[in-house]
A and B are shown apart, each in its own frame.
Chain A
Amino acid sequence: MESLKKIRVVVSILFFLLLTFLFLDVGAILPALVSNILASVQVVPSLTKTLRLLTFTSLGLLVVLLLTLGFGRVYCSSICPLGTLQDIVIRIARRNRKRRWFRYKKAPFLLHYSLLAVTAVAFVGGSVLLLNLLEPFSNYGRVLTTLVHPVIVLANNAIAFVFERFGLYSVPTLSVRFVNAGAFLFPVVFLVVVIYLSYNYGRLFCNSLCPAGALLGLLSRVSLFRIVIDEETCTECKLCEKVCKARCIEADTKRLDFSACVSCFNCIDVCPSVGLKYESWWKEKAAPAVEVDQGRRTFMNAALASAMGAALPRMVSNDSLATRTPSFDESRRNPIVPPGAVSVEHFSSYCTACHLCVSVCPAQVLYPSFLEYGVAGVFQPKMDYSNGSCTYECNLCTQICPSGAILPVDVPDKKLIQIGKAAFVKEDCIVITKKKDCGACAEHCPTKAVKMVPYENKLMLPELNNDICVGCGSCEHPCPTTPRKAIYVVANPVHLVAKKPPVQKLEEKVEQKEEFPF
């Protein structure tokens, strides 16, 4: 029994380090299997993915739910990276003598479950906004990708700089992702709030705001093993209450609210007798029923959520291939969502904005947005071709996405998903404006949907064949025209299937007429 806490500490540190590394893996060295396991045990994204696919594709979720039904909220204590981050803060707080002990405080159930209800109703109604803002894994991911990643980049580049002086090129330099101020500020505020709450009130976040905590709390009410205070052996030292960071032990009445317990096992570890037991529920009396008085509130919340869904539409306009006037505003375009995201609607309804795709994208073309999807889709990533273009042979984001917003796609299929179409404004093209050859667009196009064809004065002019365009942005990114790109990708609000690039045999397979034609 005493080793439970040790196991919890070891497992949580392992998960914490690996998950942190997952988001900051700038060298892409973590094997795909490990990344997938780490992501699949994250409750909220795994749940949305499972609901999306309507099959139990996520073995990780099943494992976590079974663990909870068996042993309580072990996810909260051992797997959730935000949980471990709070534990670190709590440990620091407890070292400071003033905050040495906790006292029982009834968890704000009403708030917590109302929030869960609203979140669930909103999700069913197609809005992931609340999940996005409150979900622990995604928030932790955003904190790392937005706040810590730049630090890693700077440190890496400092090392690379020094190495370079000695002619060593083994450490490649990295680029910082510059995000919108709003996308930068939210993780800062979130982090400050979580640190403040945990420093002063233990795991209050997990028992008041966290949707994963609420959901698992519901399950842990009926879990097989739970911690109970043994009336006979308890010496009433109240040490358990003092170390309980979930503040769910009321030592005076010898009650322990297991739905708020995060299964950290600190109480069992500290108990001088065997006053606390972790045992199967059929040994104890049936747990007192929790008074549920939320009918009206839930109804109100449902109404609120529907209102929210209507008030915060995602930005999907239907003029997908609107011709651009000189006053064309780049920001008016629909956001381009990555292959596997099915449609802007689908992507925005499932993405909890954990930014795992942002951190694995080798081209750094997946970028955190701010309000490009509307308020409801705040922080969800989008394709940004000013940074690069979508690597034709790459499907990493489709493999890593834990929430089902980007569905898994194999590379051959991915190469036929048309996420947008190229639009060419001849009047802006260098070949027309300067009467000089350019061809940067056609050069980079992987399917030759943009091709150079003879134009006047022996010049070559781009020509589009959007049947085979996949919308990767290989044309838009290198296009040298300013301030507007002469060629750019217009999003397909619903992804389409591109035709395969035609492959014709070369008429003259080998030209061996003359060995040396000079």
Chain B
Amino acid sequence: MDRRMFFKKGIGATILAGSYLALGSRESLFAWGPQPRPALPFDLVAVRGGEPEVMFRKGIEALGGIKAFVKKGQRVVIKPNMGWDVPPERGGNTNPKLMVEIVKQCLDAGAKEVYVFDHTCDDWRRCYRNSGIESAVKDAGAKVAPAHTEGYYHDVTVPAGKVLKRAKEHELVLESDVFFNVPILKNHGSARLTASLKNLMGDVWDRRFWHGNDLHQCIADFGTYRKPTLNIVDAYYVMKRNGPRGVSVEDVVTVKAQLMSADMVAVDTASAKLFGIDPMDVPHIQMAADQKVGRMDLENLNIKRIAI
């Protein structure tokens, strides 16, 4: 190849790559819209008294089994809370046993791929490792994806948002067929409570904007963007104070509970009650309910309670 040819080819390749990058806002490239949702027999399932994996088995069975949610060949993304460099017993991150069970069931149901990620607060490698989640779900067959640099996130609009109009969402969520939101229930210094609505803050890049522009409203706004296929709130270990990071195991009580619902507001309302605070004292839950993200009136919902 002579020099002129080289330049021609080089320029061609550059234009090609450049246009891909320029047009490549993932929104346009990937199929994205409301996913078909199964009609569920219950609005909310609450399980209490078992190990995390046992409670999940009972709960998902009550909702019609994992196959009601995961179809053969689908791409599943599970978003736990693994944002902190603390071991499982500190209650800062989702229980790895629960994560493993979900991954296994998804793969058994024929999922093509199961991804796990979180935009961590502490150093991401240490969080992934010390939460116990990375090695556990990898062994179970899931892929663990990084989320520590801006490149993994793509612009999305939040049409129903009051304050949060735009966000950068992790590409895996954008590309997912099934999206499980699996937070751990805990105290939170400013959000009051971490459950399903708050956990979605780990999907986005610029959290500083949320903190600087009415945290509760932003959490509620992002709830309007996309509803996870199912929210599974891990309340096995519950951090009662010093959240979201906690200082020692003395901050944690063993509650042994799990809550599941497709409705983030309902599951967070129940979570607040389980935690022992009035849901009305958690501003973002109420704001989300006002924005029709879900329902706070548990008394009118069809709830399945399972004691093990």
Contact = CB atoms under 8 A, between A and B. Distances in A.
Interface of A: 28, 157, 161, 164, 167, 169, 172-175, 362-363, 388, 391-394, 430, 434, 436-440, 442-448, 451-452, 458, 460, 478, 480-482, 501, 503-506, 508-511, 515-518
A388 B85 CA distance: 15
Contacts of A506: 240-241, 250-251, 253
A516 B188 contact: no
B152 A173 contact: yes
A518 B149 contact: no
B100 to A, nearest CB: 19
Contacts of B242: 448
Tell me if B's interface is mostly helix, strand, loop or mixed: mixed
Nearest to A442: B189
Interface stretch (B2-10, B52-60, B211-219): B211-219
Interface residues of B, number: 59
Given A436-B216, A443-B244, A480-B212, 11 more contacts: A164-B152, A169-B143, A173-B152, A391-B126, A436-B214, A437-B191, A438-B215, A444-B245, A504-B250, A506-B250, A515-B49
A460 B151 CA distance: 33
B255 A362 contact: no
B125 A443 contact: no
B209 A480 contact: yes
Interface in B91-132: 113, 115, 117, 121-123, 125-126, 130
Pairs A-B, 10 closest by C-beta atoms: A439-B190, A480-B212, A169-B145, A452-B189, A172-B146, A440-B211, A436-B214, A442-B189, A480-B208, A173-B149
B112 to A, nearest CB: 10
A510 B255 contact: yes
A316 B189 CA distance: 36
Given A394-B123, A505-B250, A516-B48, A438 B269 contact: no
Nearest to A431: B190
Tell me if A's interface is mostly helix, strand, loop or mixed: loop
Nearest to B245: A446
Given A391-B126, A447-B247, A506-B241, A518 B214 contact: no
Interface string B216-236: 110000000000000000000
Contact of B211 (A363, A439, A460, A501): A439
Nearest to B20: A165
A58 to B, nearest CB: 29
Contact of B85 (A393, A501, A511): A393
B29 to A, nearest CB: 11
A478 B255 contact: no
Contacts of B255: 510-511
Nearest to A468: B247
Interface stretch (B31-39, B66-74, B177-185, B270-278): B270-278
Contacts of B217: 436
